[in-house]
Structure 1
Amino acid sequence: LQTIFPSLKSMKNEFAFLKKIPFLLPAAWLIRILRYEKEMRKNAHKNVTDALKIGNQRIELMRKYKIIE
């Protein structure tokens, strides 16, 4: 849970508004979670594309060395 909901002390470094208005910590958690989710969606497509490229390269190598036909 501490990974998802870090302490106010550690969140102050990332969100400057928490230094003046510490009771907005739950809002900062939400912003952080939404930012993380957006980043994960963005990277998911890239990861799938990269995996397909690597898979195709491996298949070509296996064909080259006549492991598969």
Structure 2
Amino acid sequence: MGKSYFIAFPKQLRYTQICSQKIYQHPSSGTLIVLPGYEQQAYVRTLHLVAVRRILSENGLMDSDRFNSFLNKVAS
């Protein structure tokens, strides 16, 4: 199994919980990120980190290099 990381989403993302999933929305772009209902301070699965990186990059919210740099800081 790959590494997992805790990730704190930027404050500009709105958060909603529906059933066991959490939905984050960037209001001005309408970008949505849907994740399983991780407990607070839980580690995020690598699969979900890859999906979040792609969504942020494709919507011009954060490039992949910056996202990877952020993960490296969190992991250390």
The structure with the greater share of residues assigned to helix is: 1
> Which has the greater radius of gyration?
1
The structure with the greater share of residues assigned to strand is: 2
- Which of the pair has the greater relative contact order for Cα pairs under 8 Å at 6+ separation? 2
Normalized against structure 2, the TM-score is what? 0.27
